[in-house]
């Protein structure tokens, strides 16, 4: 089955300008990226590397300096494309004077959902994010993590085909974090596309099919998680049972107990450090100078 | 299009909810309390003046408060969208920017409308309670279409001025007003008459006149007598009732209260032609004083203008039109600046609109440098005139605020509102979040 590109980014760049139009920060250098339907895509990078900027450009919240971005083949800001997208910003910005139900109902109305669909969906989402006990409380009284959970529900109110999550687990407790991971896997099983920004590398490694690493607004790596993390200079021999001391014997024997000889996987964390570390030193030196 | 309306309405109801859940009710209650205290301490010379004063104060303060409130509300709601970054969850949704701008505007408008409705109801109640008089009667007026001068021999000559003075040493000079399109199905009508009077001798500060009416040119004249409710005109200066005609008092341009300043005559239905025309003749019968009349203001037909309460609410509609303009201005400012600047700009627009008519008077005086005059002339394209309709004066004068006035006000202020909403929409489209 030929997969359709849900997100297409071609030479997209962004330079923030000040009030007088003078260039201040080159947040994103020309970027090319494609995200296919049904994929879970991880966007990684240190703080200030341009992840949020990329997402905002995609959603039409920022105007690109150069290049093009398309969602479902449409320009950023296209109303039809927006109907199929759910977005969770990196911090939870919601109306403090509404309660959980009212918040979801308000956002649902913006999608033109009818009342019965809206009611069942609100009920299901509130239960899914574990806010059933606080559904009538105003958001002004919510804790950070509770607001985050509602933010997640808000992003799913239209049953979107593309879900963009900017650091969804920030402020969540360990159970919440695990639930978000389950949710993402569940979304994938239902054929949805997910764009995930996160600093929790272990989680990204667990759920993502492909990932890209940005650094200083530049794309440093992009590809399938398995391929990126493959270490080709080493070989691992898996044995059915046995101990380290027996390894040589097992190898030499290479008998029926030998099941698999494969490239071992590096942890994403060490890979990430390797990609990002040298440049970080460079920036540091620049700053000191 | 239906989606646009739904999104707009979602935004509007959000705004109403937001305003309703603010602590603004306390301010509103405080305003009502202040209004009551102020009214209780107001003292006028007589009961009718007291009534007038209450009406002016109450409707004036309602208008003032609601317009100020609008600025405050917009400044608080829209800047919050931006400063608290709620727009980051708002605009990734299929919410057209025009629906956002219109919805916000509409929401504030509806919230203020509810406030004005409540305040006006309370205001009517307060007028009822404080005034010994009953609620004032409201009238709409029907103005004459033409007028002519009639000399002492009965010869008519056309008049092309707006004001004319009857004077001279011979009795009998007269003015005739032609009325047309009068309602023929309402039975007897009420004729209102006033004029300015000048005399050298204080004994002649009241002047004897004869008022007569006929349905058409060819018909017989019928002499009218003041009706019982007429505030003056039936008695001579010495206190005796007049046998025929009426005695007129000096009522200048400032006397515009339909209940107090006009003599009243009953205009029987026979005196109105089936086509709705009527000719009124006022004859000067006292050579010791001169009389002067205005073409459209001195001789009027009063028609019932509905109850005080409904007129108060229609006055509220005019105020809402003004509020719409201020809301639009504040909305525009809120799009790119913080709450402080928005408040300041809104207040500037408000007081600018209140003083525009005085500023325009100044530009006509010829004392200002030329560039300043040009500048002030340009201002009227940005700032509308809030004294244009003078709702509280109209209401206090017993004059109805009719739907035509409301429509006219919405057209006038609406043009300004629409322009600013369009600019706000444009600014929002260009803005980055
Ligand atoms: N409104 C803005 N005006 C000017 N510069 C900005 C603005 N927003 C972001 N930047 C700059 O753009 C760069 C990228 O920012 P961005 O928010 O995209 O980073 P990020 O990858 O999301 O970081 P984080 O992990 O901290 O969320 C940073 O250098 C930041 O300083
Ligand atoms: Mg970010």
| Residue A284 confidence (pLDDT) | 45
Residue A25 near chain B (CB below 8 Å): no
Q: Rounded distance, CA A28 to CA B136, Å?
A: 71
**Does ligand 1 come within 6 angstroms of the Cβ of A216?**
no
Spell out the residues 6+ positions from residue B308 whose beta carbon is closer than 8 angstroms to its own: B124, B127, B135, B136, B137, B138, B395
Same domain, B205 and B80: no
Q: Rounded distance, CA B15 to CA A163, Å?
A: 28
Q: How far is CA B259 from CA A214, B190, B304, B326, in A?
A: 80, 12, 12, 34
For the CA atoms of chain B, what is the radius of gyration?
27
Q: How far is CA B369 from CA A34, B362, B364, B366, B376, in A?
A: 65, 11, 11, 8, 11
pLDDT in tens, B103-162: 999 999 998 898 888 888 888 887 777 765 566 678 888 889 899 988 888 888 888 888
Q: How does pLDDT run along chain A (289 residues), one tens digit per residue? A: 345 789 999 999 999 988 787 878 889 999 999 999 999 999 999 999 999 999 999 999 999 999 999 999 898 888 899 999 999 998 888 998 999 999 999 999 999 888 999 999 999 999 999 899 998 999 989 999 999 999 999 999 999 999 999 999 888 888 888 888 889 999 999 999 999 999 888 888 888 999 999 999 899 888 888 888 876 666 666 655 556 666 666 666 666 656 665 666 777 877 887 777 765 544 444 454 4
| Residue A102 confidence (pLDDT) | 94
- Whether B11 and B107 have beta carbons less than 8 Å apart is answered as yes
| Residue A283 confidence (pLDDT) | 46
Question: Would you list the DSSP string of B39-64?
Answer: HHH---SSHHHHHHHHHHHHHHHHHH
Spell out the residues 6+ positions from residue B356 whose beta carbon is closer than 8 angstroms to its own: B379, B380, B383, B384, B385, B386, B387
CA A171 to ligand 2 center in whole angstroms? 14
Strands A193-197 and A162-166 turn out to be parallel
- A110/B88 CB distance under 8 A: no
- B93/A109 CB distance under 8 A: no
- Could you tell me the residue ranges of all domains in chain A? 5-233
CA B88 to ligand 1 center in whole angstroms? 15
* Distance from the B347 Cα atom to the nearest Cα atom in chain A, whole angstroms: 26
Q: Rounded distance, CA B422 to CA B323, Å?
A: 17
**Does ligand 1 come within 6 angstroms of the Cβ of A51?**
yes
| List of chain A residues whose C-beta atoms are within 8 Å of the C-beta of residue B73 | none
Same domain, B165 and B213: yes
* Distance from the B363 Cα atom to the nearest Cα atom in chain A, whole angstroms: 37
User: Of all atoms in ligand 1, which is nearest to the CA of residue A50?
Assistant: 18
Last residue of one domain, picked from the residues B246, B272, B304: B304
Q: Which two tokens stand for residue B132?
A: 């010994």
- Among A12, A26, A27, which is best to mutate for testing ligand 1, by the most ligand atoms less than 8 A from CB? A27
Same domain, B67 and B176: no
Question: Would you list the DSSP string of B124-193?
Answer: HHHHHHH-SS-SPP-EEEE--SEEEEE-TTS-EEE--SSEEEE-SSSTT-EEEEEE-S--SSS-SEEEEE
| Residue B248 confidence (pLDDT) | 87
- Tell me whether residue A143 is exposed, middle or buried, using C-beta atoms within 10 angstroms of its C-beta: 0 to 12, 13 to 18, 19 or more: exposed
Q: Please, what is the average pLDDT of chain B?
A: 85
Owning domain of residue B361: 2-137+307-429
| List of chain B residues whose C-beta atoms are within 8 Å of the C-beta of residue A111 | 93-94
| Residue A242 confidence (pLDDT) | 53
- A106/B10 CB distance under 8 A: yes
Q: Which one is predicted more confidently, B422 or B395?
A: B422
Q: Rounded distance, CA B98 to CA B202, Å?
A: 67
Same domain, B294 and B321: no
CA B85 to ligand 2 center in whole angstroms? 14
Spell out the residues 6+ positions from residue B239 whose beta carbon is closer than 8 angstroms to its own: none
- A93/B10 CB distance under 8 A: no
Same domain, B158 and B300: yes
Looking at residue B298, which CATH number applies to its domain? 2.60.120.1200
Q: Which two tokens stand for residue A170?
A: 């920030």
Order of strands, edge to edge, in the sheet holding A85-88? A85-88, A162-166, A193-197, A40-44, A210-215, A218-224
Task: Tell me what ipTM this predicted complex has.
Answer: 0.82
pLDDT in tens, B241-254: 777 788 888 888 88
Spell out the residues 6+ positions from residue A47 whose beta carbon is closer than 8 angstroms to its own: none
Same domain, B289 and B316: no
Question: Would you list the DSSP string of A214-227?
Answer: EETTEEEEEEEHHH
Closest of B145, B230, B242 to residue B193, by C-alpha:
B230
| Residue B317 confidence (pLDDT) | 92
Same domain, B262 and B313: no
* Residues 86 through 105 of chain B touching chain A, CB cutoff 8 Å: 86-96
CA A261 to ligand 1 center in whole angstroms? 44
- A79/B94 CB distance under 8 A: yes
* Residues 76 through 115 of chain A touching chain B, CB cutoff 8 Å: 79-80, 82-83, 85, 87, 89, 91, 93-95, 97-98, 102, 106-107, 109-112
pTM of the entire structure? Answer: 0.82
Closest of A86, A10, A98 to residue A54, by C-alpha:
A10
- B96/A79 CB distance under 8 A: yes
Q: Is A123 left (phi over 0), alpha (psi -120 to 50) or beta?
A: alpha
Superfamily of domain A5-233: P-loop containing nucleotide triphosphate hydrolases (3.40.50.300)
- Whether B177 and B299 have beta carbons less than 8 Å apart is answered as yes
| Residue A260 confidence (pLDDT) | 62
**Does ligand 1 come within 6 angstroms of the Cβ of A52?**
yes
Helix, strand and coil content of chain A, in percent to the nearest 5, comes to: 40, 25, 35
Residue B84 near chain A (CB below 8 Å): yes
Same domain, B292 and B384: no
**Does ligand 1 come within 6 angstroms of the Cβ of A27?**
yes
| Residue A237 confidence (pLDDT) | 60
pLDDT in tens, B361-404: 777 777 778 888 888 888 888 888 888 888 888 888 888 888 98
| Residue A106 confidence (pLDDT) | 94
| Residue A116 confidence (pLDDT) | 93
Lowest mean pLDDT among A61-70, A218-227, B48-57, B415-424: B48-57
- A111/B93 CB distance under 8 A: yes
Last residue of one domain, picked from the residues B289, B304, B319: B304
Domain total of chain B: 2
- Whether B119 and B127 have beta carbons less than 8 Å apart is answered as no
Q: Produce one character per residue of A197-222: b if its CB has 16 or more CB atoms within 10 Å, e if not.
A: bbebbebbbebbbbbbbbbbbbbbbb
Residue A117 near chain B (CB below 8 Å): no
Same domain, B251 and B379: no
| Residue A232 confidence (pLDDT) | 66
- A93/B91 CB distance under 8 A: no
Number of A–B residue contacts, CB under 8 Å:
66
What residue owns the CA closest to ligand 1's atom 4? Answer: A16
Residue B25, classed as helix, strand or coil, is helix
Residue A186 near chain B (CB below 8 Å): no
Closest in A63, A85, A97 to B432, CB measured? A63
Same domain, B155 and B299: yes
Q: Which two tokens stand for residue A75?
A: 């320009």
Nearest chain A alpha carbon to B20: A97
- Whether A98 and A116 have beta carbons less than 8 Å apart is answered as no
Q: Which two tokens stand for residue B81?
A: 């969208």
Residue A56 near chain B (CB below 8 Å): yes
Same domain, B247 and B395: no
Helix (H) or strand (E) holding B90: helix B87-90
Q: Is the dihedral of CA A227, A230, A235, A238 positive or negative?
A: negative
| Residue A2 confidence (pLDDT) | 45
Closest in B3, B86, B91 to A94, CB measured? B86
| Residue B133 confidence (pLDDT) | 55
- The β-bridge partners of B300 are B192
Same domain, B273 and B287: yes
Q: Which two tokens stand for residue A217?
A: 């607004």
Beta strands in B173-277 (DSSP E): 174-179, 189-193, 196-199, 207-214, 222-223, 246-248, 263-267
What residue owns the CA closest to ligand 1's atom 25? Answer: A47
Q: Produce one character per residue of B97-133: b if its CB has 16 or more CB atoms within 10 Å, e if not.
A: bbbbbbbbbbbbbbbbbebbeebbeebbebbeebbeb
């Amino acid at each position: 089955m030929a997969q359709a590109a849900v997100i297409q980014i071609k030479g997209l760049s962004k330079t923030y300008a000040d009030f007088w139009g003078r260039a201040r920060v080159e947040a994103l250098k020309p970027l090319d990226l494609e995200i296919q339907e049904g994929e879970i895509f991880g966007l990684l990078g240190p703080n200030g590397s341009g992840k949020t900027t990329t997402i905002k450009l995609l959603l039409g919240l920022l105007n690109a300096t150069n290049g093009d971005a398309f969602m479902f083949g449409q320009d950023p800001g296209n109303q039809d494309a927006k109907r199929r997208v759910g977005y969770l910003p990196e911090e939870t910005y919601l109306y403090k004077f509404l309660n959980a139900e009212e918040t979801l109902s308000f956002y649902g109305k913006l999608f033109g959902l009818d009342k019965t669909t809206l009611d069942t969906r609100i009920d299901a989402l509130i239960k899914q994010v574990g806010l059933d006990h606080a559904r009538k409380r105003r958001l002004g009284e919510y804790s950070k993590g509770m607001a985050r959970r509602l933010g997640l529900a808000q992003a799913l109110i239209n049953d979107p085909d593309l879900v963009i999550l900017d650091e969804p687990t920030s402020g969540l407790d360990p159970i919440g974090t695990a639930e978000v991971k389950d949710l993402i896997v569940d979304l994938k099983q239902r054929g949805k596309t997910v764009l995930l920004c996160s600093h929790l590398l272990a989680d990204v490694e667990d759920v993502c099919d492909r990932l890209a690493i940005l650094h200083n607004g530049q794309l440093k790596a992009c590809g399938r998680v398995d391929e990126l993390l493959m270490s080709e200079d080493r070989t691992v021999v898996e044995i059915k049972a046995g101990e380290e001391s027996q390894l040589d014997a097992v190898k030499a024997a290479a008998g029926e107990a030998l099941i698999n000889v494969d490239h071992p996987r590096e942890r994403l964390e060490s890979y990430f450090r390797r990609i990002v570390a040298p440049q970080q030193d460079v920036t540091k030196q620049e700053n000191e100078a | 299009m239906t989606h646009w309306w739904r999104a707009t309405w979602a935004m509007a109801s959000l705004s109403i909810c937001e305003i309703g859940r603010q602590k603004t009710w306390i301010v509103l209650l405080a305003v009502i309390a202040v209004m009551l205290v102020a009214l209780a301490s107001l003292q006028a010379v007589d009961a009718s003046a007291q009534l007038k004063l209450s009406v002016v104060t109450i409707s004036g303060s309602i208008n003032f408060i609601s317009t100020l409130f609008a600025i405050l509300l917009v400044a608080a709601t829209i800047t919050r969208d931006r400063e608290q970054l709620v727009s980051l969850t708002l605009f990734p949704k299929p919410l057209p920017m025009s629906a956002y701008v219109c919805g916000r505007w509409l929401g504030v408008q509806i919230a203020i409308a509810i406030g004005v409705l409540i305040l006006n109801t309370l205001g009517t109640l307060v007028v009822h309670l404080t005034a010994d008089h009953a609620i004032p009667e409201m009238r709409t007026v029907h103005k004459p279409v033409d007028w002519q001068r009639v000399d002492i021999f009965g010869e008519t000559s056309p008049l092309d001025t707006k004001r004319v003075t009857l004077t001279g040493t011979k009795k009998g000079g007269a003015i005739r007003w032609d009325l047309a399109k009068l309602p023929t199905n309402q039975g007897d009508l009420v004729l209102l008459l006033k004029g300015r009077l000048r005399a050298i001798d204080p004994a002649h500060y009241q002047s004897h006149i004869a008022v007569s009416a006929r349905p058409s040119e060819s018909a017989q004249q019928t002499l009218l007598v003041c009706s019982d409710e007429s505030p003056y005109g039936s008695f001579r200066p010495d206190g005796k009732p007049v046998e025929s005609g009426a005695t007129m008092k000096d009522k200048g341009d400032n006397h515009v209260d339909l209940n107090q300043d006009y003599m009243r005559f009953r205009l029987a239905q026979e005196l109105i032609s089936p086509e709705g025309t009527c000719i009124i003749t006022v004859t000067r019968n006292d050579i010791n004083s001169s009389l002067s009349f205005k073409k459209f203001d001195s001789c009027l037909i009063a028609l019932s203008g509905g109850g005080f309460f409904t007129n108060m609410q229609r006055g509220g509609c005019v105020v809402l039109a003004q509020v719409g303009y201020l809301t639009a201005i504040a909305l525009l400012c809120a799009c790119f600046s913080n709450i402080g600047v928005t408040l300041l700009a809104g207040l500037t627009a408000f007081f600018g609109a209140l003083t525009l008519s005085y500023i325009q008077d100044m530009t006509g005086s010829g004392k200002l440098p030329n560039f300043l005059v040009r500048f002030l002339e340009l201002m009227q394209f940005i700032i509308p005139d809030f004294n244009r309709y003078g709702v509280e004066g109209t209401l206090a004068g017993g004059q109805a605020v009719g739907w035509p006035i409301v429509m006219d006000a919405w057209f006038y202020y609406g043009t300004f509102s629409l322009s600013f909403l369009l600019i706000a929409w444009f600014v929002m489209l260009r803005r980055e979040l």
